[in-house]
Chains A and B, each alone.
Chain A
Amino acid sequence: MAATELITRNWKKKDPSLKAYEAAGGYQQLRKVLKMQPADVTAEVKKSNLRGRGGAGFPTGMKWSFVPANNPKPRYLCVNADESEPGTFKDRYIMEWDPHSMLEGCAIACYALNAHACYIYTRGEYKFPAEVMDKAIAEAYAAGIFGKSVLGSGFQMDCYQVRGAGAYICGEETGLLESLEGKKGWPRLKPPFPAVSGLFGCPTVVNNVETLASLPFIFEMGAEKYAALGTPKSGGTRLIALSGHVNKPGVFECEMKTTLRELIYDLGGGITGGRKLKAVIPGGSSAPVLPASNIDIAMEFEALKDAGTMAGSGAVIAMDDSTCMVRALWRITRFYAEESCGQCTPCREGTPWMTRLLRKIEEGRGQPEDINMLLSVASSIAPFPPMGLGQTICALGDAAALPVHSFLQFFRAEFEEHIRLGRCPFEKPWGSLGEGRFQ
């Protein structure tokens, strides 16, 4: 269970400068890569079994290989630094404490893709991380890492940071591209996929911050050794963000075989106040919830998928036995209602509808038929199972519906109790439900 320190190894120094990064061996892997053929770089990444760390978990090398070889248009690399999924805060630390590891990854990816421009789309609320990144980019230009000839190789590459302005939907890759083009972040219909027609209609790869920051280690260790750290289908280590009712919340670099129990009780120091664990959300607020009885499970893509949930963005939220599940689900659903971009009717209308139904149940005004209504609305956004086959253009609809299905699957009795009693049975409510839009 002890974590292998790769991505986090420079964090203790808390020195994001180029000097510190180079002193720790930084940019040596880029030098190595620049002597390889671009196709060999992609092959090595494929061999490493690196899967995207943003949420969907798509194999990175395969994503790169979808860029058509014969398309004469320019190619782009876009960095998804729009970390906004509730529970997720790992990319922020890469940007704050080790920004050059990601920039080295960007340069490696651009070289492999033959892309000459990289746009880092950073979420608007991340003012401090964006300032650190701006400084790091300027340092890299000054040192000849970016610009007309990357480290004297003759390969040209530019890197720019664009800040978002508070829209969760821009973390969806096509919403991100729309925003980068200067529009509201309405996701696009796929296909065509960004690898064929992305930014400005050109072939584009969108990778997450952690995915790119992982690249130097693949070339440092060799793809086989990196792959061996993980499972047969998912190589390397991954960052897990732990929050909620635990004694030591934070970001932990874990091996794929680390279980939820080990994370919560060993790394996270157990549940606050010595209380009992009630439920765990294993991959950001959109991931289906698991009851406490189901935490002896490895935090990797396949195992969590087999358990009916998902690894998502690597955000684990622990809830103790004082948590009202109706209230928790109301809070989660409200987020998606607030953040729905409004493009697809099931999501635009369904997410506030679910929020209103949950508010009604929590306030003791629920009727027995409300539970089936809730399931019906959720199913019209995304049926469950199967997962990922929503009725909307992007996965935000799935993200809103999956928690509703899973909370009711495991904790239906609690919802029924609210309705039967005509009140919330929990003694310590979080506060009033507020005067928000979703009455």
Chain B
Amino acid sequence: MAAPFDADQQARFDAGIAKLLSQFPNDRKQAAMMGAVRLVQELVGWVPPEGMEQVAQKLEVPVSKVLEVATFYVMFFTKKPGKYVIDVCTNISCSLCGAEKLLEGLERKLDVHAGETTADGKFTLREAECLGSCHTAPCLQINEDHHENLSLKQAEELLAKLA
């Protein structure tokens, strides 16, 4: 299988895995899984099958164990997402304060439904479960960076700033 990383990324991956493994008992290598999958995603933007294979080798587990984790958690991408992933919280407190209208506005602006990526591959728009910002609703995260107390206009301005 093709290597998922270039030489520099490979070095960072190896060092990262070594650090993760040092945090757990020697016979519990699988415990480094969450950090290892996150590391792959940080390096290449998503978790490709080749990346899962590398994690499996390092943690000495079958690839199926890595696949199980990569597909269970919503923050891991097993398909390449847009350059910017926009997670809009639509949970109860946010919805009471206008989050669904914010999401609808962004769907119109980007011409996608929640869960889809724009045709140019720039934005992936998603509905997020509670982002823990209920008192500053509505809120969203762009590539995990948090923004709160947003009007649709402010959210659109945030997107306009992204290259």
Residues of chain A touching chain B, judged by Cβ–Cβ distance below 8 Å, are 74, 83-89, 92, 123-128, 158, 160, 162-168, 179-185, 200, 241-245, 249-251, 281, 285, 315, 317, 319, 323, 328, 331-332, 335, 338-339, 341, 430-432, 434-436
Contact = CB atoms under 8 A, between A and B. Distances in A.
A397 to B, nearest CB: 17
A335 B74 contact: no
Nearest to A88: B132
A183 B65 contact: yes
B145 to A, nearest CB: 7
Given A185-B72, A317-B134, 12 more contacts: A88-B134, A127-B141, A165-B34, A181-B28, A182-B31, A241-B134, A249-B136, A250-B135, A317-B96, A328-B95, A430-B99, A435-B115
A335 B134 contact: no
B129 A339 contact: yes
Interface in B82-115: 87, 90-93, 95-101, 103-104, 113-115
Given A163-B34, A165-B38, A434 B100 contact: yes
Contacts of B34: 162-165, 179-180, 182
B114 to A, nearest CB: 6
Contacts of A182: 30-34, 59, 61, 65, 69
A166 to B, nearest CB: 4
A279 to B, nearest CB: 11
Contact of A162 (B35, B74, B103): B35
A251 B133 CA distance: 11
B142 to A, nearest CB: 11
A179 B128 CA distance: 20
B75 A166 contact: yes
Which of B31, B59, B74, B92 gathers the greatest number of chain A CB atoms within 10 Å?
B92
A123 B96 contact: no
Given A184-B72, A200-B25, A436-B127, A86 B92 contact: yes
B127 A332 contact: no
B91 A86 contact: yes
Contacts of B131: 125
Contact of A184 (B32, B69, B128, B137): B69
B73 A200 contact: no
B37 interface: yes
Contacts of B90: 331, 434
Interface in B42-69: 59, 61, 65, 68-69
Nearest to A245: B96
Contacts of A164: 34, 73
B128 to A, nearest CB: 7
21 contacts: A84-B129, A126-B132, A128-B146, A164-B34, A165-B34, A166-B74, A182-B33, A182-B61, A183-B68, A200-B31, A241-B135, A244-B97, A244-B134, A285-B130, A315-B134, A328-B92, A341-B72, A430-B96, A431-B100, A431-B104, A435-B115
Contacts of B128: 125
Contact of A180 (B25, B31, B101, B113): B31
A331 B134 contact: no
B5 interface: no
A89 B132 contact: yes
Nearest to B28: A200
B76 A165 contact: yes
Nearest to A431: B100
B133 to A, nearest CB: 6
A250 B97 CA distance: 14
A124 B76 CA distance: 10
Contact of A332 (B92, B97, B133): B92
A319 B136 CA distance: 16
B92 A331 contact: yes
Contacts of A331: 90-92, 95
